[in-house]
């Protein structure tokens, strides 16, 4: 039997609920990164991004870009 949805509960949420869930997960991830990543805390501070300034996806454009080279370097230290 072929399934139509991988995760029916999430994949059939109304659009407003999808946006709300995405928003909640974004803020949860940003809080986690701010609490657990020295590299991102430093990077955000250098760019003038204060904790809690991002209130949603629209604010992501103001976040500093991260390169693969930076990620690799942060894993070595």
pLDDT in tens, 21-53: 999 999 999 999 999 999 999 999 999 988 778
**Tens digit of each residue's pLDDT (9 = 90 or more) over 53-70:** 888 888 888 889 999 999
Cβ contact 39:70 at 8 Å: yes
Could you give the CA distance from residue 27 to residue 55 in angstroms, rounded to a whole number?
Answer: 7
- In a domain? residue 2: no
The structure's pTM equals 0.77
- In a domain? residue 4: no
- In a domain? residue 57: no
- In a domain? residue 72: yes
- In a domain? residue 41: yes
Task: Give the sign of the dihedral formed by CA 50, CA 17, CA 8, CA 12.
Answer: negative
Query: Which residues constitute the domain of residue 70?
Result: 13-51+64-76
Q: How many domains does the chain have?
A: 1
**pLDDT at residue 1 greater than cutoff 90:** no
- In a domain? residue 47: yes
Spatial neighbors of 54 by CB under 8 A, at least 6 apart, are 26, 27, 30, 60, 62, 63
- In a domain? residue 58: no
């Amino acid at each position: 039997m072929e399934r139509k949805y991988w995760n029916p509960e999430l994949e059939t949420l109304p659009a407003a609920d999808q946006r709300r869930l995405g928003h909640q997960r974004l803020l949860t991830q940003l809080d986690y990164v701010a609490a657990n990543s020295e590299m991102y805390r430093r990077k955000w501070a250098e760019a003038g991004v204060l904790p809690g300034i991002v209130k949603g996806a629209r604010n992501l454009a103001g976040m500093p870009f991260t390169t693969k080279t930076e990620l690799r370097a942060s894993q070595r230290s």
